[in-house]
């Protein structure tokens, strides 16, 4: 099989990674987690690589930035899909655990990974998994709003992500230190919140004591993202 086409793109203000994955033969592509401010960049990458966008996929309802999904759909005709539990208006497809997103001869498998939010999903393909904010490199998403639950996040990560082969590559929604990816094995061993066999009780206590400020854009991002980013 020809190599899978893969682009990892970065939005600076929210430190968000947007991913484009494509089948090199059919040129059919999916795009994961677009950001409003970088939709034109995404379109340029698609055009430069002669890709036809089929699916715009969200890992969850983001609180820190407005999604570019609606704008990208209007520009490309691609369809929007996300986890069913998000109660988002205007999505073309609501995803359940085990669903497959097919494009060209490739497919992503949906893993429901709630806990950061109630509707978080991860997308698994071949050697990698796009974990959204469920599992970050050396961290995880906060669990103190949007139906967050440290107990659920612990179960999601252990049952759906740490159960994958240790060489599986982790591609998260964000990184604030310039790291691009990790592996299941590295996170199982070294993640300060979850690694080294931390118990659920230990994890819950860590998450309860984070004392994080609310995301700066939450008041505008959440209502917009509940409409696929239509503002
Ligand atoms: Fe998030």
- Residue 231's pLDDT band, with cuts at 50, 70 and 90, is confident
Calculate how far, in angstroms, residue 50's C-alpha sits from the geometric centre of ligand 1: 30
Calculate how far, in angstroms, residue 64's C-alpha sits from the geometric centre of ligand 1: 7
Instruction: Give the other-Cβ count within 10 Å of 179's Cβ.
Output: 11
Q: State the pLDDT at residue 2.
A: 64
Q: State the pLDDT at residue 16.
A: 98
Q: State the pLDDT at residue 87.
A: 87
Calculate how far, in angstroms, residue 24's C-alpha sits from the geometric centre of ligand 1: 30
Calculate how far, in angstroms, residue 90's C-alpha sits from the geometric centre of ligand 1: 20
Predicted TM-score (pTM) of the model is 0.97
Q: State the pLDDT at residue 140.
A: 98
Chain Cα centroid distance, residue 76: 21
Calculate how far, in angstroms, residue 23's C-alpha sits from the geometric centre of ligand 1: 28
Integer Cα distance of 205 and 113 in angstroms: 20
Calculate how far, in angstroms, residue 153's C-alpha sits from the geometric centre of ligand 1: 13
Instruction: Give the other-Cβ count within 10 Å of 72's Cβ.
Output: 25
- Residue 226's pLDDT band, with cuts at 50, 70 and 90, is very high
Calculate how far, in angstroms, residue 4's C-alpha sits from the geometric centre of ligand 1: 27
pLDDT tens string 151-191: 999 999 999 999 999 999 999 999 999 999 999 999 999 99
Q: State the pLDDT at residue 3.
A: 86
Radius of gyration of the chain (CA): 17
pLDDT tens string 77-127: 999 999 999 889 999 999 999 999 999 999 999 999 999 999 999 999 999
pLDDT tens string 27-81: 999 999 999 999 999 999 999 999 999 999 999 999 999 999 999 999 999 999 9
pLDDT over threshold 60, residue 141:
yes
pLDDT over threshold 90, residue 128:
yes
Angle between the N-to-C axes of helices 69-76 and 39-48, in degrees from 0 to 180, rounded to the nearest 10: 40
Calculate how far, in angstroms, residue 122's C-alpha sits from the geometric centre of ligand 1: 12
Structure tokens at 119: 């509707």
Q: For residue 196, count CB atoms less than 10 angstroms from its CB and return exposed for 0-12, middle for 13-18, buried for 19 or more.
A: exposed
């Amino acid at each position: 099989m020809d190599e899978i086409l893969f682009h990892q793109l970065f939005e600076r203000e929210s430190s968000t990674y947007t991913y484009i994955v494509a089948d090199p033969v059919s040129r059919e592509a999916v795009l994961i987690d677009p950001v409003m401010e970088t939709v034109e960049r995404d379109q340029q990458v698609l055009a430069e690589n002669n890709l036809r966008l089929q699916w715009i996929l969200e890992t969850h309802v983001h609180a820190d930035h407005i999604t570019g999904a609606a704008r990208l759909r209007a520009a490309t005709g691609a369809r929007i899909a996300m986890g069913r539990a998000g109660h988002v208006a205007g999505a073309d497809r609501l995803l359940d655990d085990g669903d497959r997103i097919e494009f060209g001869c490739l497919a992503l498998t949906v893993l429901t990974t709630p806990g950061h939010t109630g509707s978080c999903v991860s997308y698994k393909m071949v050697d990698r998994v796009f974990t959204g904010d469920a599992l970050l490199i050396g961290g995880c998403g906060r669990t103190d709003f949007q139906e967050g639950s440290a107990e659920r996040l612990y179960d999601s990560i252990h049952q759906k992500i740490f159960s994958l082969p240790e060489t599986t590559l982790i591609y998260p929604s964000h990184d604030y230190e310039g790291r691009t990816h990790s592996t299941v094995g590295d996170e199982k061993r070294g993640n300060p919140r979850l690694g080294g066999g931390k118990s659920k009780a230990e994890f819950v206590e860590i998450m309860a004591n984070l004392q994080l400020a609310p995301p700066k854009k939450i008041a505008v991002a959440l209502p917009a993202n509940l409409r696929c980013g239509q503002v």
